[in-house]
Amino acid sequence: MPRPYADRVRTVELLPDDATDRAVREAWRRLAEAGLPSQAGHPHPTNRPHLTLAVGEALPDAVRARLEELLGTALPVRIRLAGLVRFTGRVRVLAWAVRPDPELLLLHEEVWRTLAEAPGVGRLNPLHAPGRWVPHVTLGRSRRVSWDLPDSELLPVPPHAPLPGLLVAARGYDSVARTVEPLAPREHRPG
């Protein structure tokens, strides 16, 4: 049997401003109220709206310091949430699609390059590679259910009307310790 991608993963994630965070949580609530899988049902304290830039096996101190500098100077960046995207596979995912501005695409490429060129990071998840990356904010995950309702019933705003927002902070997530650490500027918590 092939070895799974990694036993431990470390992510680099961007966190939205308060208004965008509230809009995503409203989408989570709508899904939960419709009896559909939703991130609203994920009770872990690290669960919050985010956009994943990259996933690797480790985040050595020197690499983390480089990321803190890079992210600290690049944030905030603009995004537009527009429509839904559905991913299939072992786990199905419903996500709010992110239409990135050029600044976000550049930041993503710089983060990817920083990780790819650094010793000790291990393998990177190829789904996050520039050119393959599909920027999104996860709304729900399930092994069985697909979200077959119209997008207009699943989103708190019309799916054809992009919702502008900002990504204002960054964090790293450790899948073994199930903890997060701020990367830039500091962990931003919705008010």
Each residue's pLDDT tens digit in the chain (191 positions)? 334 455 678 999 999 999 999 999 999 998 999 889 999 988 888 889 999 999 999 999 999 999 999 999 999 999 999 989 999 888 899 999 999 889 999 999 999 999 999 999 999 999 999 999 999 999 999 988 778 888 888 887 877 788 999 999 999 988 878 888 999 985 444 44
Residue type, 99: R
- On whether the pTM is more than 0.85, the answer is yes
Q: Please tell me the CATH code under which domain 10-184 is placed.
A: 3.90.1140.10
Domain boundaries, the chain: 10-184
Residues 127 and 41 sit within 8 Å (Cβ to Cβ)? no
Residues 84 and 97 sit within 8 Å (Cβ to Cβ)? yes
Q: Where are the beta strands (DSSP E) in the chain?
A: 10-16, 51-56, 77-87, 92-100, 136-142, 163-174, 179-184
Residues 90 and 141 sit within 8 Å (Cβ to Cβ)? no
